[in-house]
Chains A and B, each alone.
Chain A
Amino acid sequence: MTSRVAICAVAQTKYEADKWDVRMQGMVWEVVKQVRAQTGLDFGDDGIEAAVTVSDDVFDARTISDSAVTDVVGAHFRGEEKVASDGAQGVYYAVATILSGKHDVVLLAGHCKESQAASRNMVTHLAFDPFFTRPVGLDYLAAAALQADAYMRKTGVTEDQLADVVVRSRQWAAKNPVARDATPLTRDDVLASPMLADPIRESFMYPITDGAVAMILASEERARDITDRPVWVTGLGNCYDSFFLGERDLAGNFALERAAARAYCMAGIKNPVTAFDVVELCDQCAHQMPQWAEGLGLCAAGGGAVWLAEGGPDCHSVNRSGGMLAGNPLMLGGMARVAEAVLQLRGDAGARQAQGAKRALAHGCCGPAGQLQVAVVLEA
């Protein structure tokens, strides 16, 4: 049994508004081919032994949505586990599979085509229970608006500050070849975008996006055979908050604080403020940039407004990829953060490279207003 696990390869499609010319299987195959080419691995006992996939039944219009992609992830004759959640949780599954001693080399592949649904909000509406919360019109956007309102009232984060978060996201996305939306925006552009659910304007919310991500993870012994630049997963933590929004402190970080504490404990991190060279956090909505920064301990609880005002995102090298705000589909927000962290730690991040990055923090979340939180610590 291995003592630690490395990510040995990552690949992402370009994130796009509407990949109308390719099926979801085609997207997944594109990234699976890339990670196989990067590692030279084939499927089988001497290569990729099992797969973990990430997808959503409703977007994919079928139950057990992983059945659509078993062909392209080599799951015939092998094991496959589906994660119906953010792909950062898929990293957790893959690492657990390897640490258990069951397998040494695991393929992780996630996909989502938000463009398939006439409305993303109709899909996330179905994430709510059919009796109590769906009848009142809740979806992830409306839930994020409740959270944003609570968070801004508690911390004093302003609409101008949120607009600047969006402007900064686009600036970094311009340096990321796989980013979906690198159209430059000014603060005035953002503030002129339509109000969707007060206080969330259209530009505050991540755009409709299609894409796929794949990774190969391996035990320490196999990782050294596969690559000379393994990125070690040294800390992992996750935590669920209550499904019912009314039972949660929407302005706080109950689940994220616990997820982060578990990951930091595993990685031996005492002070997260100074621990990371690169941070990628899963900002589905602009207000979540400072809110998650609090939950991850990059600044004091309730200190998000000051953190933004003092240039916290740049000080902590947060979301040089552009973040989820620049466009990743649901399910892949955290997985794309892990992928970017790996690129940064391998020195493969091009014009957005954080020089000499040795340790990174990647964060994923899923569910209404970040019900599930996942923190991943990665080291070169």
Chain B
Amino acid sequence: MPDDKKAELIVSRQVLSIPQRFATGPIMGRFLAELLDNRRIMAVRAPGSRCLLPPREVDAVTMQEAVEWVEVGPEGTIRDFDVVYYASPDPLTGETRDVPYIICWVDLDGAGEGAPLWHLLDAPDPGKVRCGMRVRAVFNDERCGCMEDIRHFEIIEET
């Protein structure tokens, strides 16, 4: 099809939206309640197994129920990170994060390896962020029982 004909074709624009609400259950529910009420990050594990973060009902490796609670963090070590330079709106709110922003995986103290928490990292100079840096969770004063109750992680300055 020639370009001038293509330009005449109608493009249909639509937005999908269905209000939904989700059960959190006893595991995710307690994790969120700990953030809300106690500014605490809690992981779960099956007896004798690795920690699970985010916490969930079953350890998929051993197929055992994760019934033990373990307090982890709020400090930890950056496992990996990514600096994001493009803006992508949240489909639910339409809000866009300021760029650049940094997504990091943090091995929280007490969680062992293999269960990093994913969150945002606030660093004044993204170019100076390195794997292995020590970080700490910063909680919002106003919390609602959601992952955003942790505002972000911040780098612990060496003294």
Contacts and interface: CB of A to CB of B under 8 A. Distances in A.
B18 A118 contact: yes
Given A130-B12, A131-B12, A71 B25 contact: no
B159 interface: no
Interface string A68-107: 0011101111000000000000000000000000000000
Given A42-B63, A61-B22, A116-B21, A26 B14 contact: no
Interface string B8-47: 0000101010111111111110000000000000000000
Interface residues of B, number: 21
B58 A72 contact: yes
Given A43-B63, A119-B18, A29 B57 contact: yes
Contacts of A22: 23, 25-26
B58 A23 contact: no
Contacts of B24: 23
B18 A130 contact: no
Given A22-B23, A23-B24, A26-B25, A123 B57 contact: no
Contact of A71 (B22, B23, B56): B56
B1 interface: no
Interface string B54-73: 00111011010100000000
A222 interface: no
A146 B18 CA distance: 24
A244 interface: no
With most chain A CB atoms within 10 A of its CB, the pick from B21, B24, B56, B63 is B63
B61 A76 contact: yes
Contact of A58 (B12, B18, B58, B60): B18
Interface residues of A, number: 30
Nearest to A68: B56
A77 B58 CA distance: 15
Contact of B23 (A20, A29, A77): A20
Nearest to A76: B60
A197 interface: no
Contact of B14 (A29, A42, A75, A130): A130
Contacts of B57: 23, 25-26, 29, 71-72
A21 B27 CA distance: 11
Nearest to B25: A23
Contacts of B12: 130-131
B61 A29 contact: no
A123 B16 CA distance: 10
Contact of B63 (A19, A74, A116, A119): A74
A208 to B, nearest CB: 13
Contact of B19 (A24, A70, A77, A118): A118
Given A22-B25, A42-B63, A117 B20 contact: yes
Given A20-B23, A42-B63, 14 more contacts: A21-B26, A23-B22, A23-B27, A26-B23, A26-B25, A26-B57, A70-B60, A71-B60, A72-B60, A75-B60, A76-B60, A116-B21, A126-B16, A130-B12
28 contacts: A19-B23, A21-B23, A22-B23, A23-B23, A23-B25, A23-B28, A24-B23, A25-B25, A25-B56, A26-B23, A29-B57, A29-B65, A71-B57, A71-B60, A72-B57, A74-B60, A76-B60, A76-B61, A77-B61, A113-B23, A116-B21, A116-B22, A118-B18, A118-B20, A119-B18, A122-B18, A123-B18, A130-B12
